[in-house]
Amino acid sequence: MNPRATQAEPGVAAPRVDPAADPIPPADHLVGQSCRRIDGLEKVTGVAMYGADLFPHAADLFAKVVRSEHAHADVLAIDKSGALAVAGVLGVYTHADISGTNLHGLIRRDHPVLADKRVRYRGDAIAVVVAESERGALAARDRVKVAYHALPVVATMEQALVPGAPKLYPEGNVMGDKRIRRGDVDAALASAHAVVTDVFHTQTVDHAFLDVEAGTGIWDGQMLTLNTPGQWVHEERRLIALALGIGVEQVRIIQPATGGAFGGREDISIQIYLGLAALKHPGKTIALRYDRAESMRARHKRHALKIEYTLAADRAGTLTAARIIVHSDEGAYASTGIAVMRKAASHATGPYRVPSVEVDVYGVHTNNNPTGAMRGFGACQMAIAYEGMMDRLADALRMDRLELRRRNLIQPGDPVTTGQRVDNATVTECLDRAVARFNEKPYPGNAGLPPHLRRGWGMSAICFGLGYGDGFPDCSRARVELNDDGTATVYTGGVEVGQGLLNTVLQIAGEELGLPLERMRVVAADTELTDESGSSSATRQTYFTGNAVRIAASELREQLLDIAGKHLRVHPHEVTLQQGWAFETARDANRVSLARLHQEGLARGYSLKASALFKPRTVTEIRETGQSPRAFITYLFGAHVSQVLVDIETGEVKVERHIAAHDVGKAINPQAVEGQIVGGVAQGLGMALMEEVVYKDCRIMNAGFTDYIIPTIKDLPPVEAIIIEHDDPGGPFGAQGVGEPPLIGAVPAILSAIYDATGVAPHTLPVNPERMWQLLQVREGRPTAVA
């Protein structure tokens, strides 16, 4: 529960008409305001309680997880004796101690909570130890002896697909596939004027949220209560209940303050081990936290994709066909991989009109970490490919890069990869605005640069289908209540992970109810107190939960207008709600406070609360063709321009300037939207230039921030965010969302700028100094020592 402070209300006993009354202050019009974050104060003072902050105050016992040291092995025996001999150790639990299905997984329930027979990646959980001290739990964890029979390891997709390769699963290593078929690609390629082909390799990326997994759990014999950070508390509750063998109604999850997520909290983690430990020690509060290395070794990652891309155009530069084959490293378990594959396929040609398209995406199991949700969710990897191909095609056609894009960008009513026709296609405006901003300052080019430096600029145009899409049930619920003091409370199951959801829902409800921010509170992400609102992912919370909150708040508003109409003796249509008052629109001295309205409403039989469900439908893509008239509920568009400086002697790339233009429908809180845009560019810069989870024989070699390099303040140029607002007719106050597109747009724009600077088009990420240097050597025909 996140109770938020409220302040003094207008007097309850105010007379109905008081000619001498002060005028009611003007409306706040919260939608569109950069209101201060309601959780800002507690965060800047250190008062906010994150999962690990519960430890010194609440922990009775401590848990740790024993993890596989093998990437692929049969578990023959688990010897607990050494662990149980450690002072203060109370229990060591294995799969045999779990009475439920012992399986979790967001789409397929394929991942054992604790390995029963086989481990499939280094990091698979095998046992949970519980001790009186954290140190005791750590000592015991290291003293659980597991006997393995090592199996051949599948380290790469190539190894997985070799005939006769070791199989992770009896049915083989291909987890699934997804295809798009539109038009006649063979014919289009045969008659094309220009055809370009390249192969892209995107890397494995870690979410690297700062707040490592930590939390507490207690079983009181009736209810398992978990204070744990996730991204979808209601789904986590289901998964935990099924896996551990208790009723769904016996699990309560309460989200503490959460330090980032980016998709990395979608798959279940500490919740389920805490649940197991708590069930074994009734009445005791169990605490569990990972350290950074365990966080990185245990958690799923962003999919590494191999993308083979062929793109064709006619003589005028009009795109005619694309043939795209994608192989996706799914790692050891399904996670959300199937959905990522679908999103990759449905975004394969981005915001471009391509009449003939073939896309084949194959998910391939390896013994690497499972791969699943991360900001961009397959769409970001495809943007690297389609934008890279647009630059290559422009060269092949000897055509201006911008002109080629403008010629082929979808216009309102044009179809995207899935055949869905998009009415709100504003991508051309995004691109034009970004380029216009870039041109506001003179571009210095290479003039005056020393000979080892090259400057370049590049661009990207991207689209993103909002929500789960593809017919997957996707909905949010919300409840809004007027309290007896005239304040209102918004209840949402949505999870605040830093993105600003709490402000979004309050600003929307406040706009409907005429209440200032200080006179509202929000209760979020507590499975007992709030209704399900889906995950904080897929850039969906503003649109989905925002709509649910708006519908509920407007229903409550109607009640208030009715009650106020009776009280003020005017028609409800003549009543205005503003600053905690209801008053006659033409005569604000005829007024009543919301606190008084609450009393009166109850007396008249009103509930003074309202609930809403927002559940729009999407249409499942046809299996054979991947086509759907409504694959996604709506589309987001953006365009970036990036300017880089490349040191051709060291391979170092410095981003000097970056412009990001995004159509967000309506910015509920422009400061928060800008924060998402600039933050997304930062993560995109990391993905473009530095971040990479390095595996050696399926072991992560850089499970820590010393070796997993994240952008610092010095790596970021001034990022110019351009917020474009075209109301989405289906969004709350026209709002869409903004979480993922800024990252998606940033990476290809940086790569495009590198191409412009050096004449070398990168195809393997990240373009760290070593790779950049290699590319330059290859171009010069020099031998390179590095493979």
Partner 1 sequence: MPSALAPLPDDIPNVRIACTVNGEPVVREAPVDCTLLSFLRDIVGLTGTKGACLEGECGSCTVLVDGTPVTSCLMLAAQVAERNVTTIEGLSDGNALDVLQDKFIETGAAQCGYCTPGLIMAARALLDEHPNIEESDLLTALEGNICRCTGYASILEAVRRAHRELVP
Residues in contact with partner 1 by CB under 8 A are 34, 36-37, 39-41, 43-50, 52-53, 55-57, 69, 86-88, 133, 135-136, 138-139, 141-146, 208-212, 257-260, 262, 291-292, 497-500, 671-672, 674-675, 678-683, 704-706, 710, 712-714, 716, 718-719
Determine phi and psi for 75, rounding to 5 degrees.
Answer: -90, 115
3-class SS at 642? Answer: strand
Task: Output the DSSP codes for 696-745.
Answer: ETTEES--STTTS----TTTPPPEEEEEE----TTSGGG----SSHHHHH
Nearer to partner 1, 212 or 744 (CB): 212
Residue number, 23 or 45, with CB nearest to partner 1: 45
For residues 143 and 519, which CB has a smaller minimum distance to partner 1 in the complex?
Answer: 143
* CB-based contact 464:744 (threshold 8 Å): yes
- What is the token pair recorded at 538? 């897929």
**What are φ and ψ of residue 604, in 5° steps?**
-90, 5
Q: How far is the CB of 749 from partner 1 (least distance, A)?
A: 14
Nearer to partner 1, 182 or 375 (CB): 375
Largest CA-CA distance found in the chain, in angstroms, rounded: 89
Rounded Cα–Cα distance for residues 525 and 533 (Å): 9
Cα 232 to chain centroid distance, Å, stands at 11
Identify the CA nearest to 250 among candidates 279, 270, 289. 279
> Minimum distance between the CB of residue 95 and partner 1, rounded to whole angstroms?
19
In the complex, the smallest distance separating the C-beta of residue 44 from partner 1, rounded to whole angstroms, is: 4
Tell me the closest approach of the beta carbon of residue 161 to partner 1, in angstroms: 33
CA separation for the pair 740, 637 (Å, rounded)? 11
For partner 1, the closer CB: 332 or 672? 672
Distances (CA, A) of 696 to 366, 368, 701: 13, 10, 7
The least CB distance from residue 640 to partner 1, in Å, is 13
Q: Which amino acid is at 126?
A: I
Q: How far is CA 94 from CA 65, 67, 467, in A?
A: 10, 11, 37
| Residue 207 or 596 having the CB closest to partner 1 | 207
Sign of CA dihedral 146, 152, 155, 161: negative
Per DSSP (E only), the strands in 260-300 are 286-289
User: Which residue, among 376, 395, 300, has the nearest Cα to 537 in the 3D structure?
Assistant: 376
- At residue 610, φ and ψ (nearest 5 deg) are -150, 145
Q: Give the residue with the Cβ less far from partner 1, 207 or 771.
A: 207
Cβ at position 491, least distance to partner 1 in Å: 22
Q: Could you tell me the smallest distance in angstroms from the CB atom of residue 712 to partner 1?
A: 5
SS3 letters across 363-402: EEECCCCCECCCCCCCHHHHHHHHHHHHHHHHHHHCCCHH
CB of 201: closest distance to partner 1 in angstroms? 24
Question: Least Å distance between CB 287 and partner 1?
Answer: 10
Nearer to partner 1, 262 or 333 (CB): 262
Half-sphere exposure of 618 (CA within 13 A, CB side): 24
Q: Which is nearer to partner 1, 86 or 276 (CB)?
A: 86
- Sequence-ordered list of residues with C-beta below 8 angstroms from that of 203, at least 6 positions apart, any chain: 304, 687, 691, 692, 693, 764, 765, 766
Nearer to partner 1, 28 or 211 (CB): 211
Q: Which is nearer to partner 1, 552 or 677 (CB)?
A: 677
In terms of CB distance, is 144 or 431 closer to partner 1? Answer: 144
Nearer to partner 1, 261 or 560 (CB): 261
Query: Considering the complex, what minimum distance in angstroms separates the CB of residue 733 from partner 1?
Result: 20
**Would strands 520-524 and 488-492 be described as parallel, antiparallel, or unpaired?**
parallel
CB of 56 to partner 1, least distance (A): 5
Q: How far is the CB of 376 from partner 1 (least distance, A)?
A: 15
Minimum Å gap between C-beta 678 and partner 1 is: 4
| Contact indicator for 321, 183 with CB cutoff of 8 Å | yes
Task: Provide the pairing of β-strand 103-104 with 719-724.
Answer: unpaired
CB 757 within 8 A of CB 644: yes
